[in-house]
Structures are given as C-alpha cells and as structure tokens.
Structure 1
Amino acid sequence: MPQTLVVGVHLVLIENGQVLLGQRTNTTFASHHWHAPAGHLESEESVLAGMAREADEELGITIQEEDLDLVHTLHHLDADDGAGRLQLFFTARAYSGTITNREPDKCAALRFWPLDGLPEPIVGYTPDALTQIAAGRPLSVVGWPA
C-alpha cells in the first residue's frame, strides 16, 4: 500500500551566522519549543507557493518563488502518531518586507540564534536539519527503524 505523507515547508533564514527561530505557543505540536518558521502544504499548491505563503502569513515578508532554494529534505517518522512526514527546508536568496511576528497567537517570540547556540526546548528534528544543511547534505532520515 502506498504511503501517504504530510509535507511540511520550513524557512531557514540565516543572517550573520544566526538562524531565525520562533517559539511555538498554543499549538498541539511542540508548544513552547523553538522551530524554524514552517507550515503544512495545502491542497492545490506547489511546495514553492506553500513556502512563500507561509513566509507571508507568519513573518510578513514576501518571497518570490524563484528566490527559494530547497536546501534539505528530511524524511521524518513522527513518534507521536506514526505518520511519515516529508519536511522540506528552503532558504531565500531575497525577500522584501520586515520580519514581523504575524501570528502572536501561535508564536510567542521570534529571534535569531547562533547556529552553535540553539535554544532549548527545540523541536527534535530542527538541530539535525540545521546541522545537515550546514554540512551541505541534501537528505536525512529521522525516526525510522534502522
């Protein structure tokens, strides 16, 4: 039987060696944990359109689809519900607007953190993905039996 995957899109904004993370709040998944700005792909949209939409909804910035680069794919087995998830991590070559917390009901804070000093608690696969991205590795697998 073919597997159905949930697709997540994540924005990795790194400025001066620091990565933008938001502290999740009032969420069913990982409330109070830090994580890259992210969301789920909606039906009838491409992964590029989904990432651009999430950047606008969460951060108030505009990213043109052609300015997004896929830098990492993480195939994640969610221990909570046993679902397979494909987590796509993008960087932006350019964006317009000022980063603003547009979802304060879901995000308690936005902050840039040094890559070698990530906050706790943090969503479990986030440090792994950032390490893989820094090493130039395009794919990782997390949570699956060996």
Structure 2
Amino acid sequence: MAGVELSGLEVKVLLGVAYGMSVEEVATQAAMRLKTVRVLLSSAKDKLTCRAMTDAAAVERAYVTGALPNPMPEPASRQVALRISTSQVALIWLISLGATASGISKRSHVPVIKVEQDIRALCESTGAASAAHLITRARQLNIRYHRGLPPTRSPLPPSRRPARAACTVKPRRTDDTAGTMSPEPAQPVIDTHVILRDGDKILFSQRGGPYGHGRWHVPSGKLDKGEPLTVGAVRELFAETGIHVGPGDLRLVQVVHHKQSATVERIGFFFEATAWIGEPVNREPEKCMSLEWFSVHELPDDIIEYPKEGIDGYLADAAPLSEHGWQGPA
C-alpha cells in the first residue's frame, strides 16, 4: 500500500501515539476532547486499512506508506551501544504486525507473562514508552526488524515438512480446448493463493462472486502490476481474511499453469503460510459467503478445479509444477 493521505489532525494524533503518548496525553496536549482523539485515531486506522489493529501496527503501516514521516535516526554511537538479540528483533517484528502479548504467547507457546516481561524489557532497553513507540524507536535506532526474521510458530513441525521434489512438469488434467500456439508472448493472469494450515485443518473461503459462486477455494487474488509475488499474496490474504503474514513466512509449494479459455491463461502460485497473526474474519462479504476450516481428510466436495489442482499437489507433495486445462504433450 502506498500514497495514504491522512488529515492534519489525524497525523497529529498518530504522531503523538507513535512517540509514546497515550490518547489521554494527546488530548491534553492538543486541547481536544478525548472522544475526538479516539475518533481521529480510528479514522486514521480506517485509511490505513487496520482499524481493528493495534496502535503499533497502525504506526508501522503509517511509516511504510509514507503517511507519517520516518523518524530521524539517532547517532551511530547510540546504535552501536545498544545490544538487541535476534529474538528481540523478532519480537519487534511481531508487534509491528499487530501481535499482542496473548497472540504471541498462543503462537510461540511461551507463557503470556513471560512475553509481557520481554516486551517491557525491550521497551526499557530502547527507551520506548509503549508498543507503538517501540516501532518508532526501532527505526530511530536502525534496528532492521523487517528482513528474514524467523516465524513465531509453524503449524507444521519440521519433521512433517518434506523436502520439495525437483521442479519437473507433470501435466495432469487436460481437455481439447487448448487451441494452437502463437509466436506472440504469453500474457497470463498471475494469481496468488495462500494455504493457511493449522494442524490438519486448512482455511477455505466460499465464493460469493460470479466466478465459482458457492464453491470453495483458499484465499487468493490477482497480482497487481509491479508487485512482488509475496507482497501480493500478503495483501490479498489480509484483504480477504484480516490475517497478517510476513512475506518471509510464505513457502512456495505449488505452481499451476491453467488454461481458462481459448484467450485467457493463468499462472497460480500457491504458498503455505508458516506463521501468521490474527484470527480469520470475512472482510469481503460481498465476495465471500463464508470462511471455514476443513480437515485435510474431509475437504469440501465442491472445490473449484483450478485451485484444486494446486491444493491436491500440495497435499500429495507432488512435483511443484503442473498444467491444468491444456492438451497433453505431443
């Protein structure tokens, strides 16, 4: 997301929160009613598409989108003197995604009291007055909490994650409507599909739009022009379910080249989320009839054929590239 514009008052309120002030303190300093400050903060979160998120997540998103100016870095001497462990960096990253102490505890299986203690200790060492202020302090201290951090929890233990097969093409389903090849470059629609798996259950959405109405699929969407695959997958997953996942926590498990019609072809990239924050909520009721968890042993009968190809390949640990809807090899 880019180009989010907040009003002057919304920026004023969010800046106060970003620099460690409570909403009560912001109201006092700005000579505004507390209710007005809360409304402005809620409005800013709405524009940042994170109304239900924490203040820390709103501050992070405001920095990322340019709605708030990035804070000035502190002197290098202060940055060098501060010792931050890998686990503390990961903790900042989770907080920036909107994780609460109870949410981190649930995903990492660490007692919530211990998580709260770790957050307080981290705030103390960085000079942060709150979780939202911690995001600002991390940027001032040049703590790189966005890059390649370890996931908090994987729904599948390592022993259940087999190594992927070599990338070979294995055509499975074919039809007779493939058409003839053309010397013109292909212009396929690129789709991202995200598999959320908790134990033996996978999250499915029941389609409410014209395509596949009433049928099942995993959260998915089209990639925007100029957008990296993982960023598009993260965006679409949040837009549909409210679930936050970092691009580094998406594991590519299947690629499906699908012939939709004589003039339309698609390439679907199927990712498994190895860690995420939040609980699924239907954020697009006009497009999605419901969100439901299904056991891998009792999947819904009416899964749309194209995504079913990728889901079946993932569950079977098949070769990671398949072709659907094309003629078989000559």
Name the TM tier (shorter chain).
Answer: over 0.9
The Cα of 1:11 is off from its aligned counterpart by: 0.6
| Pairing 1:3-14 to 2, within 5 Å after superposition | 3-14=186-197
Residues 197 and 273, structure 2, Cα contact 8 Å, conserved in 1: no
Shift in Å at residue 19 of structure 1? 1.2
| Aligned-residue RMSD, C-alpha | 1.3
**Number of positions where the alignment pairs a residue of Structure 1 with one of Structure 2:** 144
Tell me the equivalent position of 2:154.
none
Task: Give the distance between the partners of 1:126 and 1:73, measured in 2 at CA.
Answer: 10
Equivalent positions of 1:19-30 (< 5 A) are 19-25=202-208, 27-30=209-212
CA distance in 2, matches of 1:37, 1:10: 6
Residue of structure 1 equivalent to 2:213:
31
- What is the DSSP-based 3-state SS (H/G/I as helix, E as strand, rest coil) of the residue aligned with 2:230? helix
User: Normalized per residue, which structure has more strand?
Assistant: 1
Q: Which residue of 1 aligns with 2:294?
A: 113
1:138 maps onto 2:320 in alignment? yes
1:102 equivalent among 283, 288, 298: 283
Match of 2:266?
85
Query: How many angstroms apart in 1 are the aligned matches of 2:254 and 2:207?
Result: 22
Deviations 1:58-109 (A, max 9, x none): 1101111111111100000004x64110001001111112211111111111
Q: Deviations along 1:97-125, whole A, 9 cap, x unmatched?
A: 22111111111110111223221322112
1:90 alignment partner AA: F
- The percentage of aligned residue pairs carrying the same residue is 33
- Contact 2:219 2:240 (8 Å CA) reproduced: yes
Residues 1:18 and 2:201 aligned together: yes
Report what 2:97 is aligned to: none
Q: Residue type of the partner of 2:224? A: E
Q: Which has the higher contact order (CA 8 A, sep 6+)?
A: 1
Instruction: Quote the offset at 1:135 in angstroms.
Output: 2.5
Q: Which segments of structure 1 move beyond 4 Å, counting only runs of 4 or more? A: none
Distance in 1 of aligned mates of 2:229 and 2:198: 23
Summarize deviations over 1:18-63 as a string: whole Å, max 9, x none.
21100001x1211111111000001121111100101111110111
Q: Identify if the C-alpha distance between structure 1 residues 18 and 82 changes in structure 2 by more than 3 Å, giving closer, same or farther.
A: farther
Whose helix fraction is larger, Structure 1's or Structure 2's?
Answer: 2
1:127 offset after TM fit, Å?
2.8
Residue of structure 1 aligned with 2:255, choices 73, 83, 87: 73
What is the alpha-carbon distance in structure 2 between the residues aligned to residue 48 and residue 126 of structure 1?
Answer: 18
Greater displacement, 69-78 / 122-131? 122-131
Give the TM-score, by structure 1 length.
Answer: 0.92
TM-score in terms of structure 2 length: 0.42
